[in-house]
Amino acid sequence: MFSVRLSSNAIFIYCYSLTLRLAIFENLLGVNPELAEQIVDKTQFLRWLLQRIQAKTHDENRGYASELLSILLQSSRKNRLVLAKEGGVEVLLQSLAVSQFRPPCAYETFTFS
């Protein structure tokens, strides 16, 4: 098998470029909310967002994907029905369950003296 090792710089560049692409979608939807139905109807973006939310590791882009998903769903009943047909409700519930049982990070734990 052939494997590729990416340097940490290449991974950073990929993550940053993905953040910028997601920002473009967010800005488009902010300017023209009617695009939400077209994006879901004519692309695989909803499916991609669901796959991104299912990622095992949490990063900035996973959170951004969930924000974009909420924008797409808030603006259109039709999009919510598509989400249900795609099995998205189960994906959302599973992702919530994982985050609910995750132990708190050090910075999330506060001690008051």
3-state secondary structure the chain: CCCCCCCHHHHHHHHHHHHHHHHHHHHHHHHCCCHHHHHHHHCCHHHHHHHHHCCCCCCHHHHHHHHHHHHHHHCCHHHHHHHHHCCHHHHHHHHHHHHHCCCCCHHHCCCCC
Give the pLDDT score at 4. Answer: 57
pLDDT at 8: 77
- If DSSP codes are grouped into helix, strand and coil, which group holds residue 41? helix
DSSP structure string for 10-34: HHHHHHHHHHHHHHHHHHHHHH-TT
Sorted by where each begins, the domain ranges of the chain are 9-108
Q: Residue 100 has what DSSP assignment?
A: H
Average pLDDT, the chain: 81
**Alpha-carbon gap, residue 84 to 109, rounded angstroms:** 36
* Three-state secondary structure call for residue 65: helix
pLDDT of residue 99 exceeding 70: no
Evaluate if pTM is beyond 0.75. Answer: no
Per-residue pLDDT at 78: 95
